[in-house]
Amino acid sequence: MPGSTGPDCVIKTVMCADYNNLAAGTPRQIEPCRIYRCWLTSTQPIGRQCDNSDYTPGKSNEYRNTSYRALAARQRAQACPTDDVVVNDLRTSVKPDAWVGQPLERREDAALLTGNGRYADDLGTRPGTLYAAFVRSPHAHARIKSIDMTRALAMAGVRTVLVGSDVRDWSRPFVVGVKQPMEHWCLAVDKVRYVGEPVALVVAQDRYIAEDALDLIEVEYDQITATVDVEAAIGESAPLLHEAVGSNVVSDRQFAYGKPDAGFASAAHRVSLKVLYPRNSCTPIETYVAVAEFGSDGDYDVLSNFMGPFSLHAVMSLALKVPASGLRLRMPRDGGGSFGVKQGVFPYIVALCLASRKAGAPVKWVEDRLEHLLAATSSTGRVSDIEAAVDDDGRIVALSYDQLDDCGAYLRAPEPATFYRMHGCLTGAYRIPNLKVRNRVVLTNKTPAGLVRGFGGPQVYFALERLMQRIAVELNLDPLDVYRRNFINSSDFPYQAAAGALIDSGDYHAALDLAAKQGNLEQLLRRRDAARADGRLYGIGFAAIVEPSISNMGYITTVMTREARAKAGPKNGAITSATVSIDLLGAVTVNVASVPHGQGHITALSQVVADVFGLRPNDITVDVELDTRKDAWSVAEGNYSSRFAGAVAGTAHLAACKLRDKLAVIAAAQLECDAKDVVFSNGNVFLGQAPEQGLKFTRLASGPHWAPAVLPEGMSPGLRETAIWTPPQLEAPDEDDRINTSAAYGFAFDICGLEIDKDTGQVRIDRYVTAHDAGTLLNPALADGQIRGGFAQGVGAALMEEFAYRPDGSFASGTFADYLVPTAVEIPEPIIAHLETPSPFTPLGAKGIGEGNNMSTPVCIANAIADALGPDVDPEKIVLPMTPTRMIELIAPAETPPADFKPTMAGDGERFSTSGSIDIAAPLEAVNRVLHDARALARVIPGCRQLEALGDDRYVGDVSLSVGLVKISFHVEMSIVDEEPMQRIRLSGKGVGTLGTAEGDGRVLLSRTDTGTRLEYTYAFTLTGKIVAVGARMIESATGIVLQQLFQRLGRVASGRAPAAGLWRWLTRLFGRKT
Amino acid sequence: MKKLAHAPHTIALRLNGVERSGECEPRTLLSDFLRYRLGATGVHVGCEHGVCGACTVTIDGAAQRSCLTLAVAAEGRDVTTAEGLAPVGEQLSVLQAAFRRHHALQCGYCTPGILMSCTDFLKREANPSESQVREMLSGHLCRCTGYTNIVNAILEAAATINAATAGKDPAGPEVDSQRSDAGSDV
């Protein structure tokens, strides 16, 4: 049971800030301090009520003794001889009984648990609000020839349809960080470049009608060959997505830091590896929501669950051709999960703004799950060739990356940030002086990539940490020795990495030791020995990651050359705002420009601010809604890049300090003392140690509202302070392309023990250990929540999740039955350990912690799998996600399918095949007649609306089928390509519909039986386009049933009876959507 | 046929103990009806194909996906949502309080559905093992928590309910003293 043993005491000298002097604008004083705690997370109940009705001023409180801090103290006492224990709380401005650091229960939860959340779709809309539905491309790559919306507009309840020509008239293409002649509009204007790309937007009086009308919009396309594979996309002959660019590579940058070539030339060993990182997403359970209204002043008012970065507000405003003040964006209190993904709603916001303009009414849209999986966003796929120059004992002398990023069909802001977010710390946790990098940004016919939790980290560390494993294997070294020899030393912080990251603080060796000890690595090694002796596949993997937080606005300009940067002007910083105010009854309110999606901002901020004013967290009102027209906000803000703990909470602390200092001056006048001697504690304001002679906080704090004339001389009235902070360490890229990409860098060291089932290929995680250093923890229970969530997503990315595309660009992961997300039975509980080396660069010493396991877990599991599979398996065959099928391919010989009639298949779409036989109670001649009679066939084919014969062996007609969520209408052409009369018919056909195309080929054998005719069929077909996304499994099983039924109907028609419709009706019901 | 499909029907049902009614088309999903007609916005829609479980409600005590149920099918039935779980006069039920204590939610979007499945489950399985809880939970997708805190909350709630039923624990349902203005969090 985790928590049953105490951790080692880790006592190191690090640099940290003197927080007394961290009021805004004060120069930071750096002085030596100590790590003051490390602990292991207990899996026992952790939270206590944040109410402190049992709080007795000046006394130790029982409930706090159940907290992390007490647990840590107990563990320290048990684990270390007292002489060695130095418990030194370095946060000198934070009292030992501070709220910060307590694993309090969440203030958000009472509302969320009782159905009283205020998510975007829960908020009211104006009377007359209309609803939108998007017509989306069924093709990965095609020219739009025409859009006919006549029938849709004639439908009752449909108000208007927005198309590309409107978009051209009223907006501009989105700006992007790479200057190339390519245009991305909110709706496709001439070409479609991915399956699911919005082509038109129907606006109707309700959502059901809008969705009905989608079927009535006829879009004619000219299909073009799609470019799907990223390595093929860079080839000379690859079809071009944006012809004017002349290539699918829209940016190609090379960097060298130190002397990499010399390092490689003189190295004792070179270890290299090619790895792929797939496209996946954290798929929040709440999908995109936006309500937009075009105002009479020509401005736009939007409510959406967009969460930032607010730099994208500029992208939207520019696209809408309004100043930033002309786009009012409001974000609700509660968000149903973002993980970065909600960033991708921004093009839809622009489309809805224009739809509102066209409709003359507010327009609302709630994305459905198919739309979300198909077209919302994706992590950036990456192909990395990584190589290290290594000396004999495993020290890395030089490192080289050659990376291709698969950004999808359009380079959509903030791309190509997946590359550049990590750029400064590409050397990870290691002292590697020489580095070279080539970054190529590639476009393919897939959904545009964007923010997905970990953003850049999973891609980099999947290459770097797999390489670390290979170095240990190839040099026959203990992997932990390789880590220890390469880690940045604790005495080296702040450490400037080769590419420019100024890594603020840490103790990587201590974190490794902590993980190994708390995870009982010794025991895992013994387990591995025993399992291997038994012939089982057991492996142990490791991963060390540096986790950047608080992104530098300037990092994206690293994609530009030095000259281009000089021309464009500098970009840097990570500006953050927070406002603290006191109302006329003396209560404190905090407002921040960070839009939470479950991270517990309200709880953590109330802890931070309560400490400053000597109040209880429940006394603090936290306003996390954001209105871009009313609240303080700026370019770098929003809920991304793990910036909450370090930047947002830190800035709230600074704002609270400003206001508290003002109150201290007011109190000093009343208490007749010096302002610096005023104490704020337990709801009172007093001098020194005499709370009984002090003032009630609420009385002191409400006074300035009612009697501004009695304020100390020279003091401005009002009790509202906004702090605006940016870390000065975040500068623009320098002349040599060095860039400090983030303000703070946390650390995680993970260990995974797992076993692969030889029979099923299933991976079973035996133990997962994750040791984190995120600086000061504001609320350890919230921090652990972030770790557990990131870990679960990491397990999903490692073993289950992938947006699958077919060679023709069809998307094959359109439901949660196809895109598999881990459930409670797949996620084990990780052992979590913490170490705290506070950041000297953030106001509270805190760093981000939310993305670490998205970065470390996939590769840690991959390393454990590599270890389990052993040296005989090609390391480059370890490809994410490591599904049982992929595992079986690596551990078991391939089975050869029995050879038989093989229908020839055209196209690269999703392939299906089925075969069977049926006895028909009708003579062979009658059956044969039906097969050649268009009118009879029309009655036989399920869903056939009409069928017409064109000559003896060709038919054309219309067929509608409902499979899964989607109703598919095909215009079908069939022909008999080969026939031996009365014995064998081969039928081939093609169907073209709104959701894609189908091509089929099959053979029917006829033979006489005692009771009539036996019909044996073998059919194969391919599907392309959007239809593939709804579920291969469902299509396969549905097809079997449909064909079976088709031939039953054939029998009935041939024997002169009416076809029974029961089964088909049942099928339609089973798979039907809202019909 | 088309006309019939769009003709409004009046649906009357019992929602969280209160008789309610509203108009809808025959094709209206129960999830949409509860949210937009009756205002039960605690019913969350996450996938509309029955996998994620966020929309789960109980109908006559049995947990069901409201996104795969037509509103007309709930005529005359007893429907409970997360809004109706806390006993009268309490802010939170034992189960809800255990979720808060264990940090068993983050964004909270999947939570109402999970609470409804748990409510049905704990009635049928008073003393579940961890693996039974995980099996039941596997009908729900949560992308924030990694599930363990949810499992712990459910196990603790089961133990609390059992103890209360056996008359051993006088504590009863957890009373929220976190805020004096119970019920509105902000």
Give me the interface pTM, i.e. the ipTM: 0.91
Predicted confidence (pLDDT) per residue in A884-913, tens digit? 999 999 998 766 666 565 666 556 666 777
A1033 pLDDT band (50/70/90 cuts)? low
Residues of chain A contacting residue B151, judged by C-beta atoms under 8 Å apart: 824
Domain formed by A575-725, architecture: 2-Layer Sandwich (3.30)
B183 domain residue, yes or no:
no
Total domains in chain B come to 2
8 Å CB contact of B152 and A782: no
8 Å CB contact of A598 and B111: no
Distances (CA, A) of A863 to A666, A821, B113: 61, 21, 36
Can you give the pLDDT at residue A370?
A: 96
Chain B residue with Cα closest to A285: B46
B170 domain residue, yes or no:
no
8 Å CB contact of B27 and A122: no
Please state which of the four CATH numbers 2.40.50.140, 3.20.190.10, 1.10.3720.10, 3.30.530.20 is assigned to the domain occupying A910-1071.
3.30.530.20
Can you give the pLDDT at residue A899?
A: 59
The angle subtended at Cα B146 by Cα B63 and Cα A783, nearest 5°, is 130
Domain layout of chain A by residue ranges: 125-224+282-375, 575-725, 910-1071
Can you give the pLDDT at residue A56?
A: 32
pLDDT for A80 beyond 90: no
Beta strands in A656-732 (DSSP E): 678-681, 684-687, 695-696, 720-725
Can you give the pLDDT at residue A86?
A: 27
Is the minimum CB–CB distance between B161 and chain A shorter than 8 Å? no
Say how far apart CA A121 and CA A119 lie, in whole Å: 6
B29 and B76 both lie in a single domain: yes
Among A686-690, A828-832, A915-919, the range with the most confident prediction by mean pLDDT is A828-832
Can you give the pLDDT at residue B79?
A: 98
Answer positive or negative: Cα dihedral of A553, A557, A562, A566.
negative
pLDDT for A73 beyond 50: no
Residues of chain A contacting residue B148, judged by C-beta atoms under 8 Å apart: 43, 788, 827, 829
**Residue among B108, B137, B177 minimizing CB distance to A49:** B177
pLDDT for A83 beyond 50: no
Per the model's pLDDT, the better-predicted residue between A395 and A977 turns out to be A395
The domain of B76 spans 2-81
Predicted confidence (pLDDT) per residue in A234-270, tens digit? 999 999 999 999 999 999 999 999 999 999 999 999 9
The CATH number for B133's domain is: 1.10.150.120
Residues in chain B: 186
User: Residue A600 region, left (φ>0) first, then alpha (ψ -120 to 50), else beta?
Assistant: left
Chain B residue with Cα closest to A156: B6
Residues of chain B contacting residue A106, judged by C-beta atoms under 8 Å apart: 100, 103, 105
Chain mean pLDDT for chain A: 87
B109 and B132 both lie in a single domain: yes
**Residue among B54, B99, B146 minimizing CB distance to A791:** B146
Can you give the pLDDT at residue A91?
A: 33
B24 and B69 both lie in a single domain: yes
Can you give the pLDDT at residue A903?
A: 62
pLDDT for A990 beyond 90: no
Q: Tell me if the bond preceding A309 is cis, omega within 30° of 0.
A: yes
Q: Assess contact for A152 and A161: CB atoms under 8 A.
A: yes
List the single best residue of B57, B99, B109, B115 to mutate versus A (max A Cβ within 10 A). B109
**Residue among B49, B86, B108 minimizing CB distance to A369:** B49
- For A532, half-sphere exposure in the C-beta direction (CA atoms, 13 angstrom radius) is 14
Selected residues 38-67 of chain B with any CB under 8 Å from a CB in chain A: 40-49, 51-52, 54
As a whole number, mean pLDDT of residues A655-671 equals 96
Can you give the pLDDT at residue A799?
A: 98
B132 domain residue, yes or no:
yes
Give the closest residue to B9 by CA, choosing from B24, B21, B30, B31. Answer: B24
8 Å CB contact of A621 and B148: no
Contacts (Cβ under 8 Å, ≥6 apart) of A957: A934, A938, A941, A944, A945, A946, A947, A948, A971, A972, A974
Distances (CA, A) of A566 to A434, A560, A563, A573: 26, 9, 5, 17
B129 and B158 both lie in a single domain: yes
pLDDT for B174 beyond 60: no
8 Å CB contact of A369 and B48: yes
Residues in chain A: 1075
From the CB of residue B127, how many other CB atoms can be counted at a distance below 10 Å?
Answer: 11
Q: Assess contact for A618 and A693: CB atoms under 8 A.
A: no
Per the model's pLDDT, the better-predicted residue between A717 and A1014 turns out to be A717
**Residue among A53, A791, A793 minimizing CB distance to B177:** A53
Q: Class of A125-224+282-375 per CATH?
A: alpha beta
Residues of chain A contacting residue B115, judged by C-beta atoms under 8 Å apart: 113
Predicted confidence (pLDDT) per residue in A24-54, tens digit? 333 333 333 333 344 444 333 333 333 333 3
Size of interface A-B (CB pairs under 8 A): 223
Chain B: give the shortest CA distance to residue A916, in Å.
30
Say how far apart CA A718 and CA A712 lie, in whole Å: 13
As a whole number, mean pLDDT of residues A519-548 equals 98
pLDDT for B186 beyond 70: no
Can you give the pLDDT at residue A904?
A: 62
Chain B: give the shortest CA distance to residue A299, in Å.
28
Is the minimum CB–CB distance between B133 and chain A shorter than 8 Å? yes
Number of helices and strands in chain A (H, E)? 27, 39
As a whole number, mean pLDDT of residues B156-185 equals 61
Q: Assess contact for A664 and A678: CB atoms under 8 A.
A: yes
pLDDT for A954 beyond 70: yes
